[in-house]
Amino acid sequence: MSAGSFGFGRRVAPTAIILAAGLVLLYVFLYAPILYVVYTSFATDVVWPFPLDFTLTAYEDLFASSLYGEALSNSLKLAFGSAVISTFLAAGGAIAVLRYRSRRRGLVMFLFIAPLFVADLLIGISILAFNARVLGLPGNLVSAMAANAVQGTAFGFLIILAQLVRYNWSMDDAAMVFGAGPLRCFAEITLPTIWPSLFGAFLIAFILAFNNLEITFYNLGAIPTLPSVAWGSLRFGLGPELFALAALVNAFVFAIFAAMYGLMKTGLVKFGYRGQ
């Protein structure tokens, strides 16, 4: 009881040990399925892969499949477009809210954060209904990009806001006093400092759109994406190519997170992280 060590005291509080056990359990729960999927993706027999009979067949089949190839190319285009839209809109919103004391700040904050509180399914079907019946637009890659950018903008807004809270706008004011126009000021003063947060927002929006199922599904018509092909394949049960796909996408996401972690730790880039 009396241990109550603060952070790094010599004695560790018993509570801390119990909570640490909870933490370990949660990580096991989160990561055991992922690790098993990666392991099994290299196995000949996905039902009982012990001992491991190493093979790359699943990956070869995946790369040889024209359906998965097309789906990958669609997903990449969709994610890139959606991330570009999201980053531009989110950056504008975050800079406006932090820099100008407008009466409309509350409304803008509300609009930019609102998408986080609407379920994917509702975003998907309502945009489908609106596009089809009100605007008369068919589902295609562009409408799916826009639909995915709704959430991407919200996540991007929060990421950029978190880092820019600390940005010193008097640098910009100084540049303006010396006669720089707003665009030149942004390109030479603001952008070199804030680009990491824009990049962070871009990456998160990219991954979100890349892996989104429900919003994309309703707004793409019959065009395949990786999640929709995976969905179709999962209906027939777990196949080796699903294991390989899950392993690759996990590797892709973790590579991005590892890069972000490395950059934040070395202090090169913050992505909204303040350090201790």
Partner 1 sequence: MSGLRSGKRLHPELRFLGLAGPGAAFIVISLLLPLLSIVVFSFWRTESYELYADWNLDNYRTLLGEAAYRTFFLRSLVTAAIVTAICLVCGWPVAYFIARWGGRYRLLLVLLLAAPFFTGAILRITALQGLLGPIGLVNMTLVELGLPPIEALMYTQLASGLGLVYLFISFMVTAIYLSLVNFNFELLEVAKINGAKPWRAFIEITWPLNWIGTAIGIVLVFIPCLANVVTPRFLGGPDATSFGMSLSQQFGETGTWALGSAMGVFLFLASFAVILAIWPTIKLKRSGFTGAVQQ
Contacts with partner 1 in 143-202 (CB under 8 A)?
A: 146-147, 149-150, 153, 157, 176, 182
Report, in Å, the least distance between residue 163 CB and partner 1.
Answer: 14
Q: Return the range that interacts with partner 1 (CB under 8 A); candidates 59-67, 76-84, 92-100, 188-196.
A: 92-100
Report, in Å, the least distance between residue 117 CB and partner 1.
Answer: 6
Q: Are 226 and 75 in contact (CB under 8 A)?
A: yes
Using CB under 8 A, pick the residue from 76, 84, 96, 180 that binds partner 1.
Answer: 96
Q: Is 114 near partner 1 (CB under 8 A)?
A: yes
Stretch 256-275: interaction string toward partner 1, x if CB under 8 A: -x--xx--xx-------x--
- For residues 36 and 195, which CB has a smaller minimum distance to partner 1 in the complex? 36
Alpha-carbon Rg of the chain, whole angstroms? 23
> How many Cβ atoms are within 10 Å of 154's Cβ, its own excluded?
24
d(CA 2, CA 209): 50
Using CB under 8 A, pick the residue from 67, 130, 191, 195 that binds partner 1.
Answer: 130
Size of site (CB under 8 A) for partner 1: 103
Residues 17-46, interacting with partner 1 (CB under 8 A)? 18-20, 22-23, 26-27, 29-34, 36-37, 40, 46
Write down how long the chain is: 276
Residues 221-260, interacting with partner 1 (CB under 8 A)? 227, 230-231, 234-235, 237-238, 242-243, 245-246, 249-250, 253-254, 257, 260
End-to-end Cα spacing for the chain: 27
Residues 51-80, interacting with partner 1 (CB under 8 A)? none
Q: Return the range that interacts with partner 1 (CB under 8 A); candidates 63-71, 76-84, 110-118, 192-200.
A: 110-118
**What angle separates helix 66-99 from helix 105-113, to the nearest 10 degrees?**
160
Using CB under 8 A, pick the residue from 55, 61, 65, 92 that binds partner 1.
Answer: 92
| CB-based contacts of 82, cutoff 8 Å, min separation 6 | 144, 145, 146, 148, 149, 152, 205, 206, 208, 209
Of 131, 109, 146, whose CA–CA distance to 117 is shortest?
109
Report, in Å, the least distance between residue 146 CB and partner 1.
Answer: 6
d(CA 181, CA 32): 54
The C-alpha torsion from 109 through 110 and 111 to 115, rounded to 10°, is 110
